[in-house]
Structure 1
């Protein structure tokens, strides 16, 4: 451990864990539970310590997060620590070996949904903000802590509300507190998502004439999409993941006696710098043109775009990735930068021109599954790494 990378004392670590326990004991499953109680725990904690914070509201004025803002005493860039405090659902609660909202500690593990993703990180980031408050005169720019909900829905309502908030300073970069000590995610494939609506004349399934229904036409389109050639990993480039196309849902028909006139397909394409959203749409349109030529009908197949995010990848020297990786190295850790296959909030931020890292935290088990837990022995080191990275970015 570098002498310049001081770990928090035992009392500080205990305080982080106690706050995380209180958060875990307030169920905040995305789209299921009221977010008020879990955000209320954070509001009480922040208010008691005099840390400036305010609520964020999204569509229909829904509460979607809290924003903590610690301005430095000197001009400079602002940086954001982000951790979600909503969670995945519990799934089959009878399969858990402890209550999903436990919050207890057993054999060095913090137990319960959100322990890993990402209530422990939220508690840690709040404490780092408190650490900085007495020394703001020495810091340049400022630190924001985004404690967002509506994340596990995929809507990213907290992050979107923060970006849309005219009173919030736009960050120069964001560090997202997902767990895992071996890697820092510095990039991710983008996505192009659409619903394809396939048409056909309806008819009776028992008719003496041959009727090619919408489901059969959609099945043929799926075969065309599955057979489409996508490029491999880009030669000579650091972005080593190839694009990927998946048909993820098929909806059409009802009962047995009617061949339907409509079938909807959900198509998810993961994009790269060498195969972007335009390329994805071009590929899908080509497959549709083949379908409509081979099995023509009066109504052409329709494309309804659902979402598109760009891929992103930070360079070795780009912030805030460089600060986080350097701080981890100073702690004696071997941490790999990683470009992830799934998308994350980093893609949303990339679309806004904001660089982000996603993930560096304590070891974990059961994320989004049963018996979610976070290992606490490494918490002091993870805390010190983030604190060091933030101070480096703020000139502290």
Structure 2
């Protein structure tokens, strides 16, 4: 059931046009890349509409294909914003070239995830012409607020009263050998560490905020975390990700801010993460007192998630891959993703199955086109199964 050469060529052409419209998160105007999609969808009689955030900026394009029979709705999701280019002079080809060389689609977004977006548009067009036979419906979310980390497109989709709430979502991140069915959650905080300020040359001894922050980092690095347990295969992880304080050399600063990222698991959740940090902070303040207590400000929390092998939509995707002759394993990812956001809303999601790739978020990003027909067929088969239709 692999895609035909004509279908594959059409997917690649659309992906090329998307890559040639730079859409770096927080840098480029998303209007041109959204316009390419809108023009293609209109040419295929597929209704779509833009979704906006609270300030009124576009954050996604939503396509909905309603079936002719009652049933649940499912969603395909791919981002069409991208990571920045980095050092453009270090690329061996133009980051926005969108060309094909030696069987690879090249340019920023080729892997993450403009090729998937083009493929999902084609699946929607295919289903649209046979929609009367489908149960429920299919939504395709084309997100332009993913790489910011805000996930504004997904948030707008879930908050839109006119949109059908999905029973599950398949996110088109790349990678051929694995279907990502879970991921660690996260708990993030900033910690304001105070100290005694003064002149660095003073004869009076002072313990400044940076010195106290260094001691805090040592305590955090030494904190014991539990090992992986149960069916969740990864342990929690704590990382100190930033430390900002002071200016110049003549002043001992009275404030230093430390950023902490903790990846959580079902056995060590956000509450446990916050408890650990508060225990460490209490030890800091007891051992090295300061004029003001250390302050903890949580900034984000997402739950971990993991789907069982027989839980949808993971089951449909894994079964479709097997039927297409692909050897694919279920994986729980270390980094968090939109699947964590969806899990917090009670919506099961897969967060990765696609073509092989190189240079994702780095130099010379490219996607292997030989994998595309099989990947296309897997998603199409999975969607048809979920919508109660035969391939």
TM-score range, shorter chain: over 0.9
Q: Is 2:344 the counterpart of 1:341?
A: no
Matching residue within 65, 72, 95 for 2:60? 65
Structure 1 residue 298: Cα displacement: 2.8
Q: Which residue of 1 aligns with 2:137?
A: 142
Q: Which residue of 2 aligns with 1:170?
A: 165
SS of 2:317 mapped into structure 1: helix
Mapping for residues 1-396 of structure 1, pairs under 5 Å: 6-234=1-229, 237-396=230-389
SS of 1:60 mapped into structure 2: coil
- Alpha-carbon distance in 2 for matches of 1:379, 1:254: 52
Structure 1 residue 143: Cα displacement: 0.1
Structure 1 residue 9: Cα displacement: 1.5
RMSD of the alignment, in Å? 0.6
- Alpha-carbon distance in 2 for matches of 1:340, 1:8: 28
- Alpha-carbon distance in 2 for matches of 1:106, 1:48: 28
Structure 2: any 5+ residue segments left out of the alignment?
none
- Alpha-carbon distance in 2 for matches of 1:83, 1:126: 10
Structure 1 residue 232: Cα displacement: 0.6
TM-score for both structures, normalised by structure 1: 0.98
How many residue pairs align between the two structures?
389
Structure 1 residue 328: Cα displacement: 0.2
On the 8 A contact 2:2/2:324 being kept in 1, the answer is: no
Structure 1 residue 201: Cα displacement: 2.0
- Alpha-carbon distance in 1 for matches of 2:301, 2:54: 20
Residues 143-183 of structure 1, C-alpha deviation per residue, up to 9 Å, x if partnerless? 00000011111011111111111111110000000111000
SS of 1:207 mapped into structure 2: coil
Residues 176-219 of structure 1, C-alpha deviation per residue, up to 9 Å, x if partnerless? 00111000110000000000001112111111111000001111
TM-score for both structures, normalised by structure 2: 0.99
On the 8 A contact 2:180/2:330 being kept in 1, the answer is: yes
Structure 1 residue 59: Cα displacement: 2.9
Structure 1 residue 261: Cα displacement: 0.5
- Alpha-carbon distance in 1 for matches of 2:182, 2:320: 19
SS of 1:249 mapped into structure 2: strand
SS of 1:76 mapped into structure 2: strand
Structure 1 residue 49: Cα displacement: 1.1
